[in-house]
């Protein structure tokens, strides 16, 4: 009880409340701007949190994460331009409702569903994180190696892009993470005689380059895009009839989103699409979907915000990011000298409760701000991109340099931006590469430690049932498409035989 009170006391500090409010405002603004995203905003803000206390920094970044997920629904509903990838599913029915004169009702349902999903996942976060951390305390290097390999295999489904491309991008991230001196053998790898590379490539300039500079170069090709705008917006809360219609949809999507968020390497985009599909499947009027169904907003919005809270569970309890944004938050934890994983719960339990409190306050704040200022936030899309993106470029340069006051980091950021642009052009998302970069170092360290423990005897990995379980899950994850097809064929064959017999 004492750690909980200490954590909540940190949250109610006036300066911390101010930082959470700033995070919410930035998150909603960034989410509402098509082209910008929460991972980009968190990556840009990361170096500017160096002077803050760890709780303050992570609280602000977490608040931005929560609010950014909701912010994308504003422009998805009003101008059919999702400000964030998870809001794509919201636009399917949100924009038709807006065109039918129900923009306020759609925005109200989006806000209520988002808050409901967020609070549900935070309740799970509060219960599951200590339990998962307690289990993880029993993990040794072999178990951590197997868990991380499983997390890397989940990159195949981190977005709607090609699974093969996601795995390739993740493998490239692992490769970048191996640059520098190997801690066990002291062998230099991929340094090419450059002294700055002996300590490895810092992840902060890489994150800024991939998410900010890469997107900047991509958006430079569509500067003249215009959107049809819904101008008549009067925000109103859903009616009792609306609540009765969507209550089970919200609960179902909250469960789905939380579960998807807890899975390593998944995220709110996957959760939103699944929430929308399940809402349609269980609906009594599925024919209304795509034409302005209120359930088509409640499903994805509850799911994507629930995934935000769920993704924090493996991030804090295991040190395994649950999404692209939490991978950057994990980097922030490391940058501030904290040890993500079970030791975080044992050594600084009040920190977990402080993050819980900050995300709870953020949910309440973006509910109020979202309902009161949705029309105002929709107008920020009028900002000319010829002014917006140069500002992003300047912040990227400042952020990359300020992290360690090194001009070499600026060049790393620029190079990462070009790589990110090329990846986007050819269907490779930046999130898998970031996950590979973060997880790759954990894979390498845990593998080296395991081989020392086992005296270089590989077969001893199979002595642990937990390791075997994670290896089996990894194989299932990588070959699930083939396995599912085989199962479908196996169940289809008896029907074919019976038809032939008739």
User: Per-10-residue mean pLDDT for the chain, 502 residues long?
Assistant: 77 88 85 71 82 86 84 76 72 82 81 89 85 76 85 67 78 86 80 82 80 75 55 60 86 89 71 84 84 87 87 82 80 81 77 86 83 63 68 79 79 88 81 80 85 86 87 82 73 52 42
Domain count along the chain = 1
Q: Which domain holds residue 143?
A: 2-463
Instruction: Judge whether 494 lies within some domain.
Output: no
pLDDT by residue (tens digit) across 172-216? Answer: 888 888 888 887 777 888 888 888 888 888 777 887 888 777 777
pTM of the model: 0.74
Q: In a 3-state reduction of DSSP, which class is residue 189?
A: strand
Beta strands 180-181 and 188-189 are antiparallel
The candidate with the shortest Cα–Cα distance to 421, out of 275, 246, 211, is 211
The answer to whether residue 77 sits within a structural domain is yes
Instruction: With CA atoms as reference, report the closest residue to 429 among 220, 171, 166.
Output: 166
Q: How many CA atoms does the CB half-sphere of 266 hold within 13 Å?
A: 27
Point out which residues pair with 180 in neighbouring strands.
Answer: 189
Please tell me the distance from the alpha carbon of residue 190 to that of residue 188, in angstroms, as a whole number: 7
In a domain, residue 370? The reply is: yes
Give me the pLDDT at residue 498, please: 45
* Cα separation, 250 vs 212, whole angstroms: 33
| Number of residues that this document lists for the chain | 502
Task: Give CA–CA dist 219/379, Å, rounded.
Answer: 19
The answer to whether position 468 is within a domain reads no
HSE-CB at 219 with a 13 A cutoff on CA atoms is 21
Query: Is the Cβ–Cβ distance between 63 and 358 less than 8 Å?
Result: yes
Residue 176 lies in a domain: yes
Residue 484 lies in a domain: no
Identify the pLDDT of residue 148.
83
Q: How far is CA 421 from CA 140, 159, 164, in A?
A: 39, 17, 18
pLDDT of 266: 59
DSSP line for 361-383: HHHHHHHHHHHHHHHHHHGGGGS
pLDDT at 228: 52
Q: Work out the number of other CB atoms within 10 angstroms of the CB of residue 417.
A: 25
Q: Evaluate whether residue 500 is within a structural domain.
A: no
Give pLDDT, residue 236: 59
In a domain, 501, yes or no: no
pLDDT tens sequence across 394-409:
878 887 787 677 888 8
pLDDT score recorded for residue 222: 62
What was the pLDDT predicted at 374?
59
């Amino acid at each position: 009880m004492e750690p909980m009170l200490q954590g909540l006391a940190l949250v109610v500090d006036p300066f911390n409340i101010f930082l959470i409010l700033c995070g919410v405002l930035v998150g909603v603004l960034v989410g509402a701007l098509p082209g910008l995203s929460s991972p980009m905003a968190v990556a840009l803000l990361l170096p500017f949190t160096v002077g803050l206390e760890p709780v303050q920094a992570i609280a602000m970044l977490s608040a931005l994460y929560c609010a950014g997920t909701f912010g994308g629904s504003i422009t998805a509903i009003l101008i059919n331009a999702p400000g964030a990838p998870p809001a794509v599913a919201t636009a399917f029915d949100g924009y038709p409702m807006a065109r039918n004169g129900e923009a306020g009702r759609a925005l109200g349902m989006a806000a209520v569903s988002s808050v409901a999903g967020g609070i549900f996942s935070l309740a799970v976060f509060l219960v599951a994180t200590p339990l998962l951390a307690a289990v993880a305390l029993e993990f040794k290097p072999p178990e951590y190696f197997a868990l991380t390999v499983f997390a890397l295999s989940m990159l195949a489904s981190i977005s709607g892009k090609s699974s093969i491309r996601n795995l390739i991008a993740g493998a490239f991230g692992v490769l970048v993470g191996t640059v520098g001196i190997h801690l066990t053998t002291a062998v230099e790898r991929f340094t090419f005689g450059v002294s700055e590379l002996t300590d490895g490539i810092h992840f902060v300039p890489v994150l800024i380059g991939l998410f900010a500079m890469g997107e900047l170069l991509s958006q430079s090709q569509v500067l003249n895009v215009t959107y049809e705008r819904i101008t008549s917006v009067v925000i109103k809360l859903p009616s009792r009839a609306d609540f009765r219609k969507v209550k089970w949809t919200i609960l179902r999507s909250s469960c789905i989103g939380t579960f998807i968020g807890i899975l390593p390497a998944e995220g709110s985009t996957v959760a939103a699409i699944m929430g929308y599909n399940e809402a349609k499947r269980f609906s009594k009027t599925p024919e209304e979907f795509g034409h302005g169904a209120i359930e088509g907003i409640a499903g994805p919005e509850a799911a994507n915000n629930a995934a935000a809270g769920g993704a924090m569970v493996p991030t804090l309890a295991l040190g395994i990011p649950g999404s692209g944004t939490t991978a950057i938050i994990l980097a922030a934890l490391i940058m501030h000298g904290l040890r993500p994983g079970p030791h975080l719960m044992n050594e600084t339990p009040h920190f977990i409760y402080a993050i819980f409190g900050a995300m709870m306050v953020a949910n309440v704040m973006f509910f109020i701000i979202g309902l009161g200022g949705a029309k105002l936030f929709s107008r920020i899309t009028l900002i000319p991109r010829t002014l917006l993106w140069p500002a992003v470029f300047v912040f990227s340069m400042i952020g990359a340099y300020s992290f360690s006051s090194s001009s070499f980091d600026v060049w790393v950021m620029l190079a990462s931006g070009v790589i990110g642009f090329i990846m986007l052009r050819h269907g490779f998302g930046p999130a898998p590469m970031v996950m590979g970069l973060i997880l790759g170092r954990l894979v390498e360290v845990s593998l080296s430690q395991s081989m020392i423990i086992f005296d270089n005897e590989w077969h001893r990995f199979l002595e642990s049932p937990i390791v075997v379980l994670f290896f089996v899950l990894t194989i299932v994850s990588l070959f699930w498409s083939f396995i599912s097809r085989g199962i479908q064929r196996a169940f289809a064959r008896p029907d074919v035989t019976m038809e032939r017999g008739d």
